[in-house]
Structure 1
């Protein structure tokens, strides 16, 4: 997937784990934690995405339990799109509304609509379906229980699979979804919460009212907050992340170390050069040794200026924490860093050559 992308990735691709180091989700998390100092926003987005995944899994297990409990229904569902639309179409794709397709957004809405209906009316549907099954059993003996209409009582006439906590196929209960939604609310959104993030008051009020008053726990509750956080990260953090990881391979601390080393190298070169001139040391070819401090000083200063260590980039490494490195696996980023590294090395050689030639040609004068 990433090998076909001849461009820098988008934020949604990074959050969806479609990229490779050094522009993957792990690197973005480290950047948000150590440099942007706003990792709570990323954690909120990831927790909401996890909540969405939990809901999908719940609906998938619910459908599987319904089909296992009603064999006749499973046979008819194979050839009927309508009978499985309520549950199958509730498996959404990308949750972000700006990057997902129209079909993905529709599936997200269906998932939330199903969960709201399940929370409010599922028990009523079961009771009504059982009564109708009993009546059909008395009047017609062995009528098929399947139906092409997902809203019919036969489609929801089996006991709630999530009510049986000992079911072998059960992995997630509806209470888990409720607990997940409340955890997000109490961790990130309520005033004074452990990791409170700054969101517009209308969004916070709407979410708190939906969860605490209306009893909702479907993913659509967090849509506005998730989109707001996504846009904030895309506007404020992601451009800096790309500059840091796709155009450079050093973190600020390492860049400052190279600045100090570069200044020391340049100072050493100028000090040695002036000593050779004012002491009028012979032969003048000894001044060519100035290339050593100058090349170290210029190299380190250029690495600091561009936040890019050329040699390290050509070897295929990028720094994500001080003294800790990762392999560059994103093809386009690797090519981009290699090109910039070669250009920096050429520029370093030109500057060093100019400095060495300048000091070598200046006539000596012993003081």
Structure 2
């Protein structure tokens, strides 16, 4: 039965977005790039891996744009020389238009110097010793290979490192799904709830034991502790499981950072969280009822 439940759970996960889709911003909260970064930063302390991968990917996109512009400029020069008169033979209005077109296109052009600066910035930020976000996870041989190749205007020098970092990100993916698909609370929220829950239970138990040892009659006076006990059980169970049933069932939200929320837009994630919320809520009510029955059933004895 456990194997069947586990296989069913894993089958459901196949309907969720993949790491590739999240990295390409093709998914919706809470399984999205923003939440992935938050989990890597706050729970796993591996956000540098994602920063590096995104920076290299952006450099690759910029380099493709640079190559495309080089080709376009070459083709335009050839066509201009062969088919168009020289600027000196143009009329005053045509020369002015030609100058304005060149000036308007200049700011959007990616130059070789710009590309070299982008590649160097990645090197200085992640690869050199004591860098701002030094990639300690990269093997030393891989970092040395990047240094030995030398930097140019092409981010291809980081290809091997980017693939290696992608494998490390894949290793973190199951943990991310655990935190954002099966939970809707942050780590700080969980810890805070456990502490508040224990404190509230202490208050509730103190009230109940006081009523028992003072032998208050009739017995229904002992229901006075129901509020702190229910609140304490709710905080404690939600903190331990990472699921707040009210936030899911009533507001359809998942916490990103403490008391900041995303709406749950992935249908499969909502389905899973709703099921877990019903279970958590049922457990909270059951534990509260059992505790109150025990406290009400114990005969009073004035000390």
Give the shorter-chain TM-score range.
0.7 to 0.9
In the TM superposition, 1:67-146 aligns within 5 A as: 67-70=75-78
* Corresponding residue for residue 266 of structure 1: 201
3-state secondary structure, aligned to 1:341: helix
Q: For residue 67 of structure 1, report the CA deviation from its aligned partner.
A: 4.1
In the TM superposition, 1:36-75 aligns within 5 A as: 36-70=44-78
Matched-pair contact (CA < 8 Å) for 1:182–1:211: no
Q: Distance in 1 between matches of 2:198 and 2:131?
A: 46
Q: Distance in 1 between matches of 2:23 and 2:196?
A: 37
Matched-pair contact (CA < 8 Å) for 2:182–2:273: yes
- 1:34 corresponds to 2:42: yes
Q: Distance in 1 between matches of 2:279 and 2:15?
A: 20
TM-score relative to the length of structure 2:
0.81
Q: Distance in 1 between matches of 2:104 and 2:199?
A: 70
Q: Distance in 2 between matches of 1:167 and 1:290?
A: 74
* Corresponding residue for residue 134 of structure 2: 196
* Corresponding residue for residue 276 of structure 1: 211
Q: For residue 286 of structure 1, report the CA deviation from its aligned partner.
A: 2.1
TM-score relative to the length of structure 1:
0.68
Q: For residue 6 of structure 1, report the CA deviation from its aligned partner.
A: 6.2
- 1:349 corresponds to 2:288: no
Which among 186, 190, 194 is matched to residue 255 of structure 1? 190
Q: For residue 301 of structure 1, report the CA deviation from its aligned partner.
A: 0.6
> Where in structure 2 are there 5+ consecutive unaligned residues?
1-12, 84-101
3-state secondary structure, aligned to 2:220: helix
Please tell me the root mean square deviation across aligned C-alpha atoms, in Å: 2.4
* Corresponding residue for residue 105 of structure 2: 168
Q: For residue 302 of structure 1, report the CA deviation from its aligned partner.
A: 0.5
Which among 118, 124, 146 is matched to residue 207 of structure 1? 146
Matched-pair contact (CA < 8 Å) for 1:6–1:332: no
3-state secondary structure, aligned to 1:321: coil
What whole-Å deviation, never above 9, does each CA across 1:233-265 have from its counterpart, x for those lacking one?
Answer: 222x33332222221121121111111111122
Q: Distance in 2 between matches of 1:279 and 1:192?
A: 66
Q: For residue 357 of structure 1, report the CA deviation from its aligned partner.
A: 1.2
Matched-pair contact (CA < 8 Å) for 1:211–1:217: no
Matched-pair contact (CA < 8 Å) for 1:41–1:197: yes
3-state secondary structure, aligned to 1:19: coil
> Where in structure 1 are there 5+ consecutive unaligned residues?
73-129, 134-141, 143-164
Q: For residue 293 of structure 1, report the CA deviation from its aligned partner.
A: 1.6
Which among 108, 115, 118 is matched to residue 180 of structure 1? 118
Matched-pair contact (CA < 8 Å) for 2:214–2:301: yes
Matched-pair contact (CA < 8 Å) for 1:22–1:245: yes
* Corresponding residue for residue 32 of structure 2: 24
Which among 229, 233, 241 is matched to residue 165 of structure 2? 229
Q: Distance in 1 between matches of 2:104 and 2:113?
A: 15
Matched-pair contact (CA < 8 Å) for 2:56–2:122: yes
3-state secondary structure, aligned to 2:261: strand
Q: Distance in 1 between matches of 2:258 and 2:105?
A: 48
> Which has the larger share of helix?
2
- 1:240 corresponds to 2:178: no
3-state secondary structure, aligned to 1:7: coil
Which among 276, 279, 287 is matched to residue 340 of structure 1? 276
3-state secondary structure, aligned to 2:150: helix
Q: Distance in 2 between matches of 1:22 and 1:46?
A: 19
Paired residues, number: 270
- Kindly tell me: are residues 6 and 35 of structure 1, through their superposed partners in 2, closer, same or farther at Cα, counting changes over 3 Å? closer
* Corresponding residue for residue 320 of structure 1: 256
What whole-Å deviation, never above 9, does each CA across 1:280-328 have from its counterpart, x for those lacking one?
Answer: 2112122233321221011001011111211112211122222222222
Q: For residue 43 of structure 1, report the CA deviation from its aligned partner.
A: 1.0
* Corresponding residue for residue 91 of structure 2: none
